Amino acid sequence: MAQVIADRRDVDFVLHEQLEVEALSKHEKFAEFNRKTVDLIVSEARNLAIKEMLPTFKLGDEEGCTFDKGVVRVPESFHKLHGLFMEGEWIAMCDDPEWGGQGMPATVALAAKNYFNGANFPFTLNTLLTHGAGKLVETFGTDEQKQLFLKKIYSGEWGGTMLLTEPEAGSDVGALTTTAVQNDDGTYSITGSKIFISSGETDLCENIIHPVLARIEGAPAGTSGISLFLVPKVWVNDDGSLGEFNDVVCTGIEHKMGIHGSATCSLTLGGKGQCRGTLLGEVNKGMRAMFVMMNEARLDVGMQALGCASASFMNALNYARERVQGRHLQAAGKDAPPVPIIQHPDVRRMLLTMKAYTEGIRSIMYYTGFCEDMIRVSGDAQEKARWQGLIDVLIPIAKGYASDRAFDVCNMGVQMFGGYGYTREYPQEQLLRDCKITHIYEGTNGIQAMDLVGRKLGLNQGQAFRDLLDEMNKTAADVKEISGLEPMASTLETVIERLEEASLFMAKTARSEKMMTAFAAAYPFMEVTGDVVMAWMLLWRAGAAARALEGGAKKKDLAFYDGQIKSARFFIHSLLPVTLGKIGAILAGDGAVVEIAEDAFGSK
Amino acid sequence: MAQVIADRRDVDFVLHEQLEVEALSKHEKFAEFNRKTVDLIVSEARNLAIKEMLPTFKLGDEEGCTFDKGVVRVPESFHKLHGLFMEGEWIAMCDDPEWGGQGMPATVALAAKNYFNGANFPFTLNTLLTHGAGKLVETFGTDEQKQLFLKKIYSGEWGGTMLLTEPEAGSDVGALTTTAVQNDDGTYSITGSKIFISSGETDLCENIIHPVLARIEGAPAGTSGISLFLVPKVWVNDDGSLGEFNDVVCTGIEHKMGIHGSATCSLTLGGKGQCRGTLLGEVNKGMRAMFVMMNEARLDVGMQALGCASASFMNALNYARERVQGRHLQAAGKDAPPVPIIQHPDVRRMLLTMKAYTEGIRSIMYYTGFCEDMIRVSGDAQEKARWQGLIDVLIPIAKGYASDRAFDVCNMGVQMFGGYGYTREYPQEQLLRDCKITHIYEGTNGIQAMDLVGRKLGLNQGQAFRDLLDEMNKTAADVKEISGLEPMASTLETVIERLEEASLFMAKTARSEKMMTAFAAAYPFMEVTGDVVMAWMLLWRAGAAARALEGGAKKKDLAFYDGQIKSARFFIHSLLPVTLGKIGAILAGDGAVVEIAEDAFGSK
């Protein structure tokens, strides 16, 4: 059977030949995770994804979620899936076994998620947020909070959410108006309305634990006056038994372009004045807690985008090999037989673009997970800080840039099927619709670009970004030694140099009186940084493939390795010149975007 | 009230200040269409679009079309609209008054269509195909066929379609298998199955006239053996009265990503051996007839894309002026009040991109219509041929490039609304879904790129493409004289030169043994050609605006004119450098796309 969701050979290639993840098992923390175990985990995730999740993909979209008098029902088929997820303990893959986690390397967990997200990410969204809520409890909770909630959450028995957005507080979280008043027993009474809450209400679990951002009466305005609270849907008594329903009411769900299997809820807290919660972490430190969780959440969104891209690419590749239409361009005579469309040059261009993007994004994601693992095994504080800096710089790329390119892949994925791609008969249009949300939630991609320029570029006095450039240059220097790859490596070096120039220009301009112009170029800057990171990953892959070929690869691997070199060549020679053009435009620093008067955008 | 669908000021600007459409009324053919009449037509179209069509946009999407035992029902609200369309005689705007047409200039008709398409293009799709079928009858029909069908079609009393695609004959029309056998009475018996037929069955009209591509028994294989037939749903007797139902059965409709208001039908012809049709035009010349209609049909698809982009941009602009979120980037202190998001640099970047694309596409479209008008008023065969060449070269841009950029606009249009953009509460997500079909039908955008490189580049020994370059250079030279616009004009000249270089490279390579590499670059070549055409249009606009400012413009127009200059500046200084990068990549001519082995795209 043809590969679906993700090319297993490519997943293994990144794990074992690019990142050499087995080396992590030399560390006590990951001692169990030798190659055999890693492969077993990926195989199990893949099986579950293909056999159980993929068949629910279209069902979930068509059935959608329903809302009736405060009750939300998820697609019927999701109930069985949720059971299988709990059974396989897939919710807390990397977490502390003490609390029910599996303690596996993040890199490996991402490979598993690649399959889950590609099979049906609207389903996984539910468990994702559950895990995020658990992580908040694990990181900031008191012993009591951990004892009461954590195992139930990490197992999936109870759901978890994140109550952040309000109608007038979207990208500007600091504008929120939900309030908290301390009660005599130390709990807080919470009052407010929250929107866009994924899985805010569900019939999958008997209880849901809502981390809620709210402002304690009298706290400062803006983000520095926000605290975090744990608000259970059903009150949990001190002995762990369930008490009364808390005053949290779902008032409706959104009708959306995609991710129909995920209920996006509006919740009213304390409508009857009876909503209770407990403080999670410190007073007025809610935003800081959110920021701790943000990297993981944003990486997960990038993974959802990768899932869509990866599935769309696999479907398109299989279709292009089977669909017979039109003669070969160089066919002799009009009577030449029609050929599979993979033989047409424009189809090949789309396929190679989809391949390079999908594989490049895969490497970016797994590498970011790998950096997390390196923090966990490193004994040296400076080393840890270095890896953390790399993660921080890569997150806007892994979320913002990657989700944009994934959407491009899904768009081509529709195009590859012609008229059929626009119909619901094939999964391509749903993947495009589902993928679109990844540009928006967990901070729009515009916010990611601001984050890159406003926070990450200057992080540790610019050291984090320089470390990224160093890593890229190291790979380029290494691959330059490989016969045949020198031109690609040199080109990448040139482009890295130009990126550095652009980064210095951006950092300087962002602190000058022309700061508006700098931030108007934040998005293009995120795009060029992403392009260079993508090229780096593809060159790294090409280097590993070339060395494998030099070392006498198995016959069955020859085509795969050649494909790695071709992807890099295509990206570096055909797409990086466009990046250079974009860097040129950034450096030119034209101010039209800033200078145009509001009235001049168009008539009122 | 804020502008919706399309900025009227901008529509008028293109008609009267860029293209000076009133000059057409000096010619007898368009004598009636003085400025006052033109403005009246646009106002009427705009009123109909805003008051009657726009309210059906969401209704049509949600209600969709239904299919039950061969009967297709369109959204209920479309019936009234169809009546209004017939009443206003909006179906055959440019056609011969002898047959019920309005005889107006194409440029003016496009302005009207801009509003219709932006209000609800899935509705207009029905009348569009009706017109197309009528045009085929007018162009290729016998007197008898015209008498029988034409007025009924042009009035909208009867519908029209185009039966081209079959399951195994999509992009490769020549592979079709529908057959025609001549009967003793001169009619033909048609047998075959057609798919993806817009409005193939409908409850809007009592009869539908289907132009059908089929192969007469014994005709050559491929496109040279295809003939065109007129197959009415209900047979039309010689006296014009309706006879029996013809053997044309709708077997189902597609469930699609968007354009739910337009029924995409599968039709079986002659399932009972009783489907009759008459030959339209000459035997085996069916494809040639199709090609005659293709320019109009492709321009119409571009217009649909413009409609989506234009509406999405207007919505986004209005939202950005109203939605208050976040503080100004240069605000002093944390207590600064929140501002409308139009003040944020990344929002302005999106808006200016949307503006430049939308307005540039508008000019490309109207200009292509203007070229048609120039053919109609020109007495000189050489002049006519020159205008026709310009149209031929521009069509892949107006359909392929423009629909891609329109989709980008609609994508940003969702993004501008944040989470709300993903919900059905706002029109943005539907515009994105609807817009996607414009990449696919009437020849996928990949086919457009092939058309540009394979047919149009070499048209009239390359003269048509050179004429386009000349027109662009003329504008650049003209605008260069205007104080302040010289740098933009010079930049455009440089880029035109590079485009010419790329075009010569492409033409040469496409005829060499590296032809596969050339066609693998056809899509990027279409993109860069489109970019340069877009820059040309924006510079032309900026020139007209600058001259109006020099001539002492009215105060109420100052912002508008300044906006024209800013759009051009933004596009030329911030986006054209990217085009230059892409041209560089085309000229580098890397062969990875062609060389990669089929197996190397991924595991099987």
pLDDT tens, position by position, B492-501: 999 999 999 9
Shared domain for B185 and B258, answered yes or no, is: yes
The residue from A284, A306, A340 where one domain ends is A284
Could you tell me which residues are beta bridge partners of residue B268? B193, B249
Closest CA to B408 of B313, B482, B291: B313
How many other C-beta atoms can be found within 10 angstroms of the C-beta atom of residue B184? Answer: 5
Mean pLDDT of A414-422: 97
CB contact under 8 A, B598 and A195: no
How many other C-beta atoms can be found within 10 angstroms of the C-beta atom of residue A123? Answer: 26
CB contact under 8 A, A346 and B522: yes
Please, are residues B227 and B284 in contact by the beta-carbon 8 Å criterion? yes
Question: Per the structure block, which two tokens stand in for B59?
Answer: 């209704």
Shared domain for A92 and A201, answered yes or no, is: no
Mean pLDDT of B363-392: 97
Q: Does A382 touch chain B (CB under 8 A)?
A: no
Restricting to A residues 73-132, those with a Cβ less than 8 Å away from any Cβ of B are none
- Considering only CB atoms, B581 lies closest to which of A345, A566, A578, namely A578
Could you tell me which residues are beta bridge partners of residue A71? A68
Q: Is residue B368 part of a domain?
A: no
- Res. B293: pLDDT tops 90: no
Counted domains in chain A? 3
Q: Is residue B423 part of a domain?
A: no
CB contact under 8 A, B3 and A429: no
How many other C-beta atoms can be found within 10 angstroms of the C-beta atom of residue B484? Answer: 11
One-letter identity of residue A225:
G
Question: Per the structure block, which two tokens stand in for A96?
Answer: 């502390």
pLDDT tens, position by position, B533-544: 999 999 999 999
- Res. A334: pLDDT tops 80: no
Please, are residues A355 and B602 in contact by the beta-carbon 8 Å criterion? yes
Query: Which residue matches tokens 């990086």?
Result: A576
- Res. A453: pLDDT tops 70: yes
Identify the pLDDT of residue A571. Answer: 98
Shared domain for B594 and B459, answered yes or no, is: yes
Distances (CA, A) of B589 to A357, A580, B94, B446, B551: 20, 17, 44, 18, 48
- Do β-strands B179-182 and B188-198 pair in parallel, antiparallel, or remain unpaired? antiparallel
Closest CA to B215 of B223, B224, B205, B225: B225
Closest residue in chain B to residue A587, using alpha carbons only: B574
Q: Does A26 touch chain B (CB under 8 A)?
A: no
How many other C-beta atoms can be found within 10 angstroms of the C-beta atom of residue B381? Answer: 8
Q: Does B419 touch chain A (CB under 8 A)?
A: yes
Residues in A touching B196 (Cβ below 8 Å): 419
Identify the pLDDT of residue B141. Answer: 97
CB contact under 8 A, A563 and B437: no
Q: Is residue A542 part of a domain?
A: yes
Query: Which residue matches tokens 């805010």?
Result: A200
Q: Does A559 touch chain B (CB under 8 A)?
A: yes
pLDDT tens, position by position, B206-253: 999 999 999 999 999 999 999 999 999 999 999 999 999 999 999 999
Residues in B touching A445 (Cβ below 8 Å): 415
pLDDT tens, position by position, B26-47: 999 999 999 999 999 999 999 9
DSSP conformation letters of B254-298:
--BSS-TTS-EEEEEESTTS--EEEE-SSTT-HHHHHHHHHHHHH
Could you tell me which residues are beta bridge partners of residue B71? B68
Mean pLDDT of A242-248: 97
Please, are residues B258 and B434 in contact by the beta-carbon 8 Å criterion? yes
Q: Is residue B334 part of a domain?
A: no
Q: Does A7 touch chain B (CB under 8 A)?
A: yes
Question: Per the structure block, which two tokens stand in for A87?
Answer: 């059974």
Shared domain for A113 and A169, answered yes or no, is: no
Kindly report the backbone phi and psi dihedral angles of residue B244, in degrees, each rounded to the nearest multiple of 5, phi listed first.
-80, 160
pLDDT tens, position by position, B519-535: 999 999 999 999 999 99
pLDDT tens, position by position, B159-182: 999 999 999 888 888 899 999 999
pLDDT tens, position by position, A282-299: 999 999 898 878 899 999
Q: How many angstroms away from the CA of A576 is the closest CA of chain B?
A: 8
Shared domain for A126 and A74, answered yes or no, is: yes
CB contact under 8 A, B257 and A423: yes
Mean pLDDT of A374-393: 97
Kindly report the backbone phi and psi dihedral angles of residue A327, in degrees, each rounded to the nearest multiple of 5, phi listed first.
-90, 160
Question: Per the structure block, which two tokens stand in for A542?
Answer: 């090409």
Q: Please, what is the end-to-end C-alpha distance for chain A in angstroms?
A: 58
- Give the domain CATH number at A188: 2.40.110.20
* % of residues, chain A, pLDDT over 90: 96
Identify the pLDDT of residue A353. Answer: 98
Which residues of A are tagged catalytic?
Answer: 442
- Res. B15: pLDDT tops 90: yes
Identify the pLDDT of residue B80. Answer: 97
Q: Is residue B523 part of a domain?
A: yes
- Res. B572: pLDDT tops 70: yes
Q: Does A450 touch chain B (CB under 8 A)?
A: yes
**DSSP E strand boundaries for B304-441:** 324-327, 338-340
Closest residue in chain A to residue B410, using alpha carbons only: A436
CB contact under 8 A, B579 and A575: no
- Give the domain CATH number at A19: 1.10.540.10
- Most B CBs within 10 Å, among A357, A424, A451, A603, to test the B interface: A603
Q: How many angstroms away from the CA of A96 is the closest CA of chain B?
A: 34
Query: Which residue matches tokens 């168009």?
Result: A602
More confident residue, A288 or B471: B471
Please, are residues A474 and A536 in contact by the beta-carbon 8 Å criterion? no
Burial of B27 (0-12, 13-18, 19+ CB in 10 A): middle
Please, are residues B371 and B390 in contact by the beta-carbon 8 Å criterion? yes
pTM of the shown model? 0.98
Query: Which residue matches tokens 């206003």?
Result: B88
Mean pLDDT of A556-582: 98
Rg (CA), chain A: 25
Using pLDDT thresholds of 50, 70 and 90, give the confidence band for residue B189: very high
- Rounded to the nearest angstrom, the gap between the alpha carbon of residue B535 and the centroid of all alpha carbons in its chain is 19
Please, are residues B349 and A593 in contact by the beta-carbon 8 Å criterion? yes
Using pLDDT thresholds of 50, 70 and 90, give the confidence band for residue B1: low
Identify the pLDDT of residue A228. Answer: 97
SS3 assignment, position B235? strand
Shared domain for B280 and B208, answered yes or no, is: yes
Catalytically annotated residue among B63, B442, B493, B513 = B442
* % of residues, chain A, pLDDT over 70: 100
Shared domain for A175 and A108, answered yes or no, is: no
Question: Per the structure block, which two tokens stand in for B253?
Answer: 């409709």
Query: Which residue matches tokens 């195009």?
Result: A415
Mean pLDDT of A525-551: 98
Identify the pLDDT of residue B323. Answer: 96
SS3 assignment, position B182? strand
Shared domain for B132 and B202, answered yes or no, is: no
Mean pLDDT of A101-111: 98
- Res. B13: pLDDT tops 70: yes
Q: Please, what is the end-to-end C-alpha distance for chain B in angstroms?
A: 58
- Res. A1: pLDDT tops 90: no
- Res. A184: pLDDT tops 90: yes
pLDDT tens, position by position, A196-220: 999 999 999 999 999 999 999 999 9
The interface predicted TM-score (ipTM) is: 0.97
Q: Is residue A61 part of a domain?
A: yes
Q: Does B325 touch chain A (CB under 8 A)?
A: yes
Shared domain for B243 and B110, answered yes or no, is: no
Taking every pair of Cα atoms in chain A, the longest distance, rounded to a whole number of angstroms, is 89
Please, are residues A137 and A153 in contact by the beta-carbon 8 Å criterion? yes
Using pLDDT thresholds of 50, 70 and 90, give the confidence band for residue A332: confident
Q: Does B484 touch chain A (CB under 8 A)?
A: no
More confident residue, A389 or B292: A389
One-letter identity of residue B413:
G
Taking every pair of Cα atoms in chain B, the longest distance, rounded to a whole number of angstroms, is 89
Rg (CA), chain B: 25
Shared domain for A100 and A202, answered yes or no, is: no
Question: Per the structure block, which two tokens stand in for B462?
Answer: 């390359």
The residue from A98, A133, A155 where one domain ends is A155
DSSP conformation letters of B475-532:
HHHHHHTSTTTHHHHHHHHHHHHHHHHHHHHHHHHHTSTTHHHHHHTHHHHHHHHHHH
> What range does the domain containing B265 cover?
159-284
pLDDT tens, position by position, A344-379: 999 999 999 999 999 999 999 999 999 999 999 999
Closest CA to B363 of B572, B542, B499, B492: B542
- Considering only CB atoms, A574 lies closest to which of B314, B415, B590, namely B590
Shared domain for B499 and B589, answered yes or no, is: yes
Using pLDDT thresholds of 50, 70 and 90, give the confidence band for residue A540: very high
SS3 assignment, position A261? coil
Distance CA B389, CA B368 (A): 11
Distance CA A339, CA A350 (A): 17
Q: Is residue A311 part of a domain?
A: no
Task: Please calculate the CA angle B383-B384-B386 and round it to the nearest 5 degrees.
Answer: 65
How much is the mean pLDDT over chain A?
96
Question: Per the structure block, which two tokens stand in for B555?
Answer: 């105060």
- Res. A170: pLDDT tops 90: no
Kindly give, in sequence order, each residue whose CB lies less than 8 Å from that of residue A379, ignoring residues fewer than 6 positions away.
none
Q: How many angstroms away from the CA of A573 is the closest CA of chain B?
A: 7
* % of residues, chain B, pLDDT over 70: 100
Q: Does B228 touch chain A (CB under 8 A)?
A: no
Q: Does B258 touch chain A (CB under 8 A)?
A: yes
Using pLDDT thresholds of 50, 70 and 90, give the confidence band for residue B333: confident
Closest residue in chain B to residue A431, using alpha carbons only: B257
Q: Is residue A263 part of a domain?
A: yes
CB contact under 8 A, A8 and B522: no
Shared domain for B454 and B582, answered yes or no, is: yes
The residue from B269, B284, B299 where one domain ends is B284
Q: Does B70 touch chain A (CB under 8 A)?
A: no
pLDDT tens, position by position, B546-566: 999 999 999 999 999 999 999
How much is the mean pLDDT over chain B?
96
CB contact under 8 A, B602 and A3: yes
- Considering only CB atoms, B330 lies closest to which of A3, A9, A515, namely A515
- Considering only CB atoms, B196 lies closest to which of A348, A349, A419, namely A419
